Amino acid sequence: HGRDQTSPFTEKYFPQTLDHFNFNSQGNRTFNQRYLITDRYWLKGHGPLFFYTGNEGDIWDFALNSGFITELAAQQGALVVFAEHRYYGKSLPFGLQSFNVPEVGLLTVEQALADYALLISALRGQLAATRCPVIVFGGSYGGMLSVYMRLRYPNMVAGALAASAPILSTAGLGDPSQFFRDVTDYERLAPRCKDAVRGAFHQLKELAENQDYRRIQEKLSLCKPPSSPEDIYQLNGLLRNAFTLMAMLDYPYSTHFMGNMPANPVKVACETMLRASGLLENLRDTAGIVYNSTGALGCFDLYSLYVQCADPTGCGLGSNSLAWDYQACTEINLCYDSNNETDMFPPMTFGETERNIYCSKRWAVLPRPRWLQTQFWGDALSAASNIIFSNGDLDPWANGGVRKSLSSSLIAVNIPGGAHHLDLRGSNDADPESVIKARKTEADLIAQWVKMERTRLRTPKQ
């Protein structure tokens, strides 16, 4: 994993408690939790602590794609920490055994939040920063964790910026067809674009129904011909996932985050879909924007490029995908369907029944579909305070989150023309005006929260 030489961060490890909630199961055993830290901008002992609640991946990926946090730290004199989530990247509690049953059982949202609370507490102690206000930041699932930190540990966390955090849809609130309907937003560039995608999937379906597997292999440049309905389902999932990623990562400049994307990938995809060649060839080349960005692949291997799992929007690859699959089988509810009516994709249902069957087979667990609503308040957030919910309207995750302010301190910031947590990324010449404005709003609110918290920390204890 190439470290960015210009990155201000130092990589460190913290001896983290294995099980915060059961004193018998692991005794006082610990594991090494990785975190990145920089005091380059910190007004020592005084400036706030900006703490990124790491999500489902290698912590360097988030640190190198969240430049707004370090830019803000430079403005506000903050110490910055990016903490890696247990079971991801190098923070594997049981090494390669971490994904065995029962070892994987210590992978829960609650354990991860307790990790962060303990790490914050330890760092404040070590660095003589007990009077430094803490603000948490996160994007996507990391944004959900930032919200939860503010709900669960308001004694430590003065405020949260939750960027593109789908806290409602992942708690099973909302419409299961919303996500892929919003991915279908390709039609805003040209209604013909959506029609072309739908048409291509239709041609694929006809070839599959006629079991013309050779033709499918040839048109889509697959390494092996499909040979069963299961293979076709996998192929549909792989193709749908390409459109999902381009919609999420539809940034106005090229990025290297969750793969390599050109600038404006949705526009590039539509141009590709509308070329003069056949629809299936166009579909292949459009998927290639995601799966073959270097052009080095001679053919697509269905099962190595995309992993089917309990998250129909994709789990990624490697050991991180195992961890996310387990979370999607337990607390994080991702029952999203495509239906070919409100969206442009083949009908693929992933409801409670499918989820239960898959999860009990794969992990020997039964999901708890309403648990996040109980444990982290669902949509009943009015008793909370000091949380920013930011969302970009190009992002298919946005409508699974909070789009309207709920009080004067639970603030929705909507970013027209913004993709998945664009506001967390560093400033760029290609930024739309909307995101520059959003970051300014966020910066002002955070400065206010820090000031309020300082007053609270200074007030002598009775």
- Catalytically active residues are 140, 395, 420
Exposure string of 422-437, with b = 16+ CB inside 10 Å and e = fewer, is: bbbbeeeeebbebbee
Per DSSP, the residues of 378-437 read: TT--TT--SEEEEEETT-TTGGGS--S--BTTEEEEEETT--TTGGGSPP-TT--HHHHH
Query: Do strands 134-139 and 159-163 pair parallel, antiparallel, or not at all (unpaired)?
Result: parallel
User: What angle (nearest 5°) sits at the alpha carbon of residue 153, between those of residues 147 and 157?
Assistant: 70
Residue type, 277: S
191-209 helix and 279-291 helix, angle to the nearest 10 degrees: 100
Instruction: Answer whether 275's CB lies under 8 Å from 282's CB.
Output: yes
CB atoms near residue 80 (< 10 Å): 27
Q: What's the burial of 24, exposed, middle or buried (CB within 10 Å: 0-12/13-18/19+)?
A: exposed
Query: In 3D, which of 111, 110, 134 has the Cα closest to residue 122?
Result: 134
Distance CA 69, CA 8 (A): 12
User: What angle (nearest 5°) sits at the alpha carbon of residue 214, between those of residues 209 and 215?
Assistant: 70
Number of H helices and number of E strands within the chain? 15, 10
Query: Sign of the C-alpha dihedral, residues 194, 202, 292, 241?
Result: positive
User: Helix H segments across 94-209?
Assistant: 109-126, 141-152, 178-183, 191-209
- DSSP code of 109? H
Per DSSP, the residues of 175-205 read: -TTHHHHHHGGGGGT-HHHHHHHHHHHHHHH
Per DSSP, the residues of 313-373 read: T---SHHHHHHHHHHHTTT------B-SSSSSS--B---HHHHHHHHHHHHS----TTHHH
Instruction: Answer whether 165's CB lies under 8 Å from 389's CB.
Output: yes
